[in-house]
Amino acid sequence: MTRLAAEAVAAPGYASGSLWIVSEHTAPSGPDSRPAREALDDALLRASREIAQLQSRSDDSDAAEILEFQIAMLEDETLIEPAWQAIAHGSTASDAWREAIDAQLAQYLDADDPYFRARSADLRDMKERVLRCLSGQGANAIPPGSIVLARDLAPSTFLETDWQEGGIVLLEGSSRSHLAMLARARKVPLLIGLGSVAVDGTPFALLDGERGELVLNPDGSTRAEFAARRVHADQRSAQADAAPTPLQTGDGEAVKLLINVADGGELAHISARQCDGIGLVRTELLLRSAADLVDEARQVDAYSAMVRWADGKPVTIRTLDAGADKPIPGYTLDEGNPFLGTRGVRLSLAAPGPLLIQLRAIARAAALGTVRVMVPMVTVPAELEAVRTLLDQAIDELTRAALPHARPQLGMMVEVPLAALSIESFDADFFSIGSNDLVQYLTAASRESGRLANLQDPLHPAVLRVISEVVAHGAKRGADVSLCGDMAADPRCVPGLLGTGLRALSVAPAARLAVREAVSAYSRTSVKARPN
Ligand code: PEP
Ligand code: MG
């Protein structure tokens, strides 16, 4: 039996199962041992076989048409020719392919004809697929119910995996990453910072997300003790699920407790009676392919299911916040500094076709209940206004087509320091503070880095001051202000947040009980922003 201690628990809970090691991806670091031309031609062939397979499994005619277009492009020699020429001049296969397709993409995005602009997403998707084939990366093959051991894991891989009783142990990782957020929301235990470890085969393992421990080949008494503690933890979490709203501070002030969701799968385990609605839908975790972005019917179904679930309570749907650590193959850009790059609304407005479709779908779901649309990564008022213009267009189109719909309120995330510090210049119906990014950008410390955790202090007086200003502005204007970053879910941060005047928190469903306890224990006379 081997016991290994992790640096931190990013998502609590217990898991047991076979260990599955995700090896570092096998991208060739130097030139491929094969001639570059041969490597590229092989990758093109593999990519078109993969697409043909997807096509044969798809019963949706729109998706089939998109895939057919991609296959045609992969066989189009005029598109591939510049890459072959670059290879002849000494480029690697990946560089040659990337540059050739990026040049085409720029032309597609500049085109006046909307057909070409719409097709740019397909071109990107195809570019990424070929690059993946060139790097030798295969599709996700994690067996259901595994305990995954990896250096780090992409949110998309998380969402594609059937976790059952399984969990995740990362050699590195950060508790502020999107992966950590998803793991908490889905109750998949996650340990981070295991350092290095040498493991042979796929031993049976216990993941103890209370003690922060991974136990390999446990003996009988360790298994029995583990099982007993797990039963106790399950009882506590059942208590959280039974907790009723409304919520009050110790002084009797009402506090709204909303939940954050990704693709809506989490809603199967919770009822709308147990919260004040949905404060954040991270739609980039629901729409994970270029084809999803233009599939209005699928989006209407997914959003409508959330609105029906909410039973009259508000559902706040965030427009796509793709980019940085949430890439969408075929849609997001390859950039050197992606957290400071074309992500969120910046990307949505660069080629607004998918955003218009998303706004139409949100407005159609709004016919069934209270829906609010929220824009991520807003920096300047012109971005919010550009989305408003698209929302006007969406409403206009739906009215002309006589499709049932309603106009949702339009609000914004406050997560870029510039926007937070000039909040009075935004004409938003409501504000939601994205403390994960706000803290990352205020401290210039990546939310992905466990090593910089000491700098990412959400209770720093400067952070609380910025939050207070946004809250005060909302109160003055009569606009709702909530906070949907991870800070809201951390009981140690709750007194500091309530001290700013904030009275609406949106948290991962699994964090509700701990947050309820912290809110009920708060009173103005016993405030202490920073715990000892
Ligand atoms: C945030 O930045 O706090 C937030 C809620 O958005 P995300 O974590 O999805 O970037
Ligand atoms: Mg954010």
Q: Could you tell me if 176 and 229 lie in one domain?
A: yes
Q: Provide the β-strand partners of residue 323.
A: 326
Domain harbouring 191, CATH code: 3.50.30.10
Determine if residue 313 is left, alpha or beta; phi over 0 gives left, psi from -120 to 50 gives alpha, anything else beta: beta
In angstroms, the CA 96 to CA 131 distance is 11
Cβ-based neighbours of 192, under 8 Å, separated by 6 or more: 6, 7, 8, 9, 10, 170, 172, 173, 174, 175, 180, 450
Helix (H) or strand (E) holding 150: strand 147-150
Which CATH number covers residue 44? 1.10.274.10
Of all ligands present, the nearest one to the C-alpha of 322 is 1
pLDDT of residue 134: 83
Closest CA relative to residue 331, chosen from 70, 107, 66, 121: 121
Ligand 1 site-directed mutation target among 258, 437, 443, 487, most atoms within 8 Å of CB: 437
Which atom of ligand 1 is closest in space to residue 486's alpha carbon?
3
From the CA of 181, give the closest atom in ligand 1. 8
Measuring CA to CA, which residue among 262, 243, 242 is closest to residue 180? 262
Within a domain: 18: yes
Q: Residue 148 forms beta bridges with which residues?
A: 20, 168
What residues does ligand 1 touch, defined as CB less than 6 Å away? Answer: 280, 282, 321, 415, 434-437, 484-485
Does some domain include residue 301?
Answer: yes
In a domain, 174, yes or no: yes
Residue 159 in any domain: the answer is: yes
Q: Is residue 530 part of a domain?
A: no
Distance (Å, rounded) from C-alpha 532 to C-alpha 518? 15
Ligand 1 atom showing the smallest separation from residue 376 Cα:
6
| 434 Cα: distance to centroid of ligand 2 (angstroms) | 5
Q: Residue 436 Cα, ligand 1 centroid: separation in angstroms?
A: 5
**Are 300 and 364 within one domain?**
yes
Evaluate whether residue 153 is within a structural domain: yes
Domain boundary among 105, 135, 165: 135
Instruction: Identify the domain boundary among 236, 267, 287.
Output: 236
205 and 75 in a single domain? The answer is no
Say yes or no: 129 and 224 in one domain.
no
- Residue 177 is assigned to a structural domain of this protein: yes
Same domain for 232 and 251, yes or no, is: no
User: Is residue 333 one of the residues assigned to a domain?
Assistant: yes
| Distance of alpha carbon 58 from the chain centroid | 25
Domain of 155 in residue numbering reads as: 2-22+141-236
Euclidean distance between CA atoms 441 and 321, whole angstroms: 16
Percent of the chain as helix, strand, coil, to the nearest 5: 50, 15, 35
**Sign of the Cα pseudo-torsion (36, 38, 44, 50, in order):** negative
Mutational test site, ligand 1, from 413, 416, 432, 483, max ligand atoms within 8 Å of CB: 413
> Do residues 255 and 385 both lie within one domain?
yes
Alpha-carbon distance 90 to 87, whole Å? 5
pTM for this prediction: 0.69
Q: Are residues 131 and 149 in the same domain?
A: no
Asked if 492 and 388 sit in the same domain, the reply is: yes
Residue of minimum CA distance from atom 10 in ligand 1: 437
Q: How many domains does the chain have?
A: 3
Check whether residue 342 and residue 257 sit in a common domain: yes
Nearest residue (CA) to ligand 1, atom 6: 434
Co-location of 281 and 407 in the same domain: yes
Enumerate residues with CB within 5 Å of ligand 2 (an ion). 415, 434, 437
The protein residue whose alpha carbon is closest to atom 1 in ligand 1 is 434
Angle between the N-to-C axes of helices 114-135 and 93-110, in degrees from 0 to 180, rounded to the nearest 10: 170
Question: Which ligand 1 atom is the nearest neighbour of the CA of 436?
Answer: 3
Pocket test for ligand 1, best of 176, 181, 484, 497 (most atoms within 8 A of CB): 484
Tell me the CATH number at 295.
3.20.20.60
Ligand showing the shortest atom-to-Cα distance for residue 325: 1
Q: What is the pLDDT along the chain (532 residues), one digit of tens a residue?
A: 888 888 878 888 999 999 988 865 434 434 445 788 888 988 888 888 777 766 665 555 555 666 777 788 888 888 899 999 999 999 889 999 999 998 888 887 777 666 666 667 677 778 877 887 887 665 556 788 999 999 888 766 787 678 998 999 999 877 777 788 888 878 899 998 887 777 777 789 999 988 889 999 999 999 999 999 899 888 877 776 676 768 999 999 999 999 999 878 778 778 898 899 999 999 998 887 888 899 999 999 999 999 999 999 999 999 999 988 888 888 888 888 899 999 999 999 999 999 999 999 999 999 999 999 999 999 999 999 999 999 999 999 999 999 999 999 999 999 999 999 999 999 999 999 999 999 999 999 998 887 888 899 999 999 999 999 999 999 999 999 999 999 999 999 999 999 999 999 999 887 888 899 999 999 987 666 566 5
Which pLDDT value is given to residue 390? 98
Distance 431 CA to ligand 1 centre (A): 13
Which of 236, 264, 294 is the last residue before a domain boundary? 236
